[in-house]
Chains A and B, each alone.
Chain A
Amino acid sequence: MKKEHKHVKSNKKYGMVIDLDKCTGCGACMVSCMAENNVPFKADESNKLDSITWMRVYKLTNDKPYPDTEICYLPRPCQHCEGQHEGHSPCVSVCPATATDYSMETGIVSQIYTRCFGCRYCMAACPYHARYFNWWDPVWPEGMEESLNPDVSVRMRGIVEKCSFCFHRYQRAMEKAHFEDRHELEENEYQTACTQACPSGAITFGDLNNESHAVYKLKKNPNAFRLLERLGTNPKIYYVSSREWVRLAGDNYRPDEKMTAKHKPAKHAPAKQH
């Protein structure tokens, strides 16, 4: 029963570096993610509190009056948190049915749709709101079933889903590699749909531990930060921004520590999402 949890130690740690200076907020990543992963949608998607967006682009503002107003778009996939010790993600640690798993091989947090029974404890645990519940059974517009991705199972009502880093693409790439008697993947062999769809090249995906992968260097950018690092979630999505207010918006700071914060801003006003 527990065989699948045999911890395969590997040094791979897939993650992303998202350059917020490049993101234009076009939403191509969201669209490609929905199409790639058969994400269900409703006829009316205006209520964002119960619609599913594995990748969601937030709009941040520095909340300053014109002419100092600035905005920033921030794409937010699942952060594939590693936690303080490997695999202690906020969500994985709480799931009572082991229906969400931390892969020791890739660092990817996966969701086992057929095992999840919909208690939503993982949603309560995730501070990034990266998890979504299927409040309805998926309904596809007529004919759309034909164009669903055959590599990704559709989900039923009553269970939780979230970004998988297009894990099926990893599986496909690994299959090919094994067939060719290789054990390692080239950087371009496994890329997520959003990375490939981003027209401005804001998203870079790869193995954060692999020196030959672009993300390895990009994450060391002095302007790189992660969301809510202080909570100890240890996410694998890095963001880069040359603007201090954006970097500061990545975490919470008390008023008394604003001046000593790592990314000390000249004059900081809290970022707001609109």
Chain B
Amino acid sequence: MDSALIPKGVKRCSIGQFALFMGFFGAIALWGVYAMLLCWLKGLNQTNMNDYYGFALWIWADLAVIALGGGAFFSGFLKYIVGKDELKNIINYAVLIGFICYSSALLILAIDIGQPLRGWFIFWHANVHSMLTEVAFCLSCYFGVLTIEYIPLILENRQADKVPFFHKLSHNMHENMAIFAATGAFLSFFHQGSLGGVSGVLFGRPFGYREGLFIWPWTFFLYTWSAAAYGPCFTVLVTKITEKVTGKKLVKDNVIELLLKISGWMLFTYIIAKIIDTWYWASVTAPAAGFSLIDFYSNNPFYGIWILLLEIVIGGIVPALILITEKGRKNKFAMALAIILAVIGVCINRWVMVLQVMAVPVMTFDSWVMYFPSWQEIATTILPVAYGVLLIGISYRYLPIFPQEIELNPIEEDTVADKDAEGDVVVGENLVEATEEG
């Protein structure tokens, strides 16, 4: 039915299956939209946030998706600036994932603020000394860049490409992509950093506060570094999930391995820097405020020293060691383990730098306060995930996202896209039709 829109030379599942898949994730997204409307119409009393947790699940989600979306700027930087040309085979997907992550972050921010209609005040009454101002500016600009990077992909759709204007536009945009990639990398270095600065500058909160260089706390540099290190792991993880769901190989191993090798070394150097930072903070910065390391990890029902170990050892050292060795990258299981642990690692880092900062009592007569999000917060946090799956579903079906797909999955005729898949397929497990050769 929609075969005219499907790229030439590739095979896609039946429209019915696709509709089922979209319907399932669409329903989840609708649930999120409902929760979002509740928050907008009734206010943030719909959440379990309180005056101790002014920053909670949403801010974590923001920081996490932006770190995970870091694969877009870093692979763009590697391809266009450093000249790693093989990465052209994954860059489209990295851009798409980045686009999803950043649009999600902006959406979550729009739900998170108490007066959404005044959101523009951050630009209009900008306080240039605030990390959040820098975040807002760079994030919006970079989202613009990602949109520019995503547009030529949309224009490559079989039907859009037939329009000469679109064809030329997309061609010209491709030609100039290096400029956008460079701009994107520049903006990313700043907003990833300022996101790190968000907690790093809080000198009233000894758990988050870090010393630094001039106006930038160490977390500024650590966040940029970690986004460059962990972002590509997420790009690869999503690629691998997509391959599993579609039952096809979409990107050649050498491309994945190259990206993971660079990511691994970034991770390795990052985690060394992170350990030094943690050591300095635990032995100099926090003690100067009267805190010992263990104060941050005791006398409460949840935050133990395990979370620090989970972040640094399990989510940092282990994946780094796997990814810097060729054997590790080539071993399917080890590689999968590494990218999953890495994604967990960065999410935990962002979690503690938001939630644990809020949880730790600072006044001696104050106490630890725990928090669990309300269903509205959870639904609105799942919303971007569902939205991401939907956008990936549409983009994969109708746009030539993976340049190596045709070569890796040769088919005899290009009309099969219309053909019904055989047998029942469980929605969510099988995005597109599972071809035998996958």
Contacts and interface: CB of A to CB of B under 8 A. Distances in A.
B290 interface: yes
Contacts of A134: 114
Range of interface residues on chain B?
35 or more
A172 interface: no
B108 interface: no
Contacts, number: 173
B115 A95 contact: no
Scoring B44, B50, B131, B364 by chain A CB atoms within 10 A of each residue's CB, the highest score goes to: B364
Q: Is the interface of B mostly helix, strand, loop or mixed?
A: loop
Q: Is the interface of A mostly helix, strand, loop or mixed?
A: loop
A254 B201 CA distance: 22
B288 A230 contact: yes
B54 A120 contact: yes
B126 A96 contact: yes
A174 interface: no
A128 B363 contact: yes
Interface stretch (A111-119, A204-212, A214-222): A111-119
Given A96-B132, A128-B363, A231 B203 contact: yes
Contact of B51 (A1, A132, A233): A132
B353 to A, nearest CB: 11
B422 to A, nearest CB: 53
B198 interface: yes
A135 B363 contact: no
Interface residues of A, number: 60
A133 B67 CA distance: 28
A94 B132 contact: yes
Contacts of A128: 204, 362-363
B289 A273 contact: no
Contacts of A231: 203-204, 206, 289, 362
Contact of B204 (A1, A125, A257): A125
Nearest to A126: B204
Interface stretch (A143-151, A177-185, A245-253): A245-253
Given A90-B202, A117-B118, A133 B127 contact: no
Given A96-B126, A228-B362, A231-B204, A117 B290 contact: no
A271 interface: yes
B138 to A, nearest CB: 13
Interface stretch (B165-173, B235-243, B365-373): B365-373
Contacts of A176: none
A139 interface: no
B92 to A, nearest CB: 34
B249 to A, nearest CB: 44
Contacts of B43: 135-137, 157-158
A243 interface: no
A50 B45 CA distance: 9
B44 A254 contact: no
Contacts of A118: 44, 113-115, 118
Contact of B363 (A96, A119, A228): A228
B364 A271 contact: yes
Given A132-B51, A230-B290, A250 B364 contact: yes
Contacts of B205: 124-125, 127
A15 B199 CA distance: 28
Given A120-B54, A272-B367, 20 more contacts: A49-B52, A74-B365, A94-B130, A94-B201, A95-B127, A96-B130, A97-B118, A115-B121, A116-B118, A117-B114, A124-B357, A124-B358, A125-B205, A158-B115, A228-B362, A231-B203, A233-B204, A252-B206, A252-B362, A272-B365
25 contacts: A1-B125, A49-B52, A74-B365, A93-B201, A95-B127, A96-B130, A98-B126, A118-B113, A119-B122, A121-B55, A121-B132, A124-B199, A124-B205, A124-B358, A125-B202, A127-B205, A128-B362, A158-B43, A228-B363, A252-B206, A252-B289, A252-B295, A253-B290, A270-B364, A271-B365
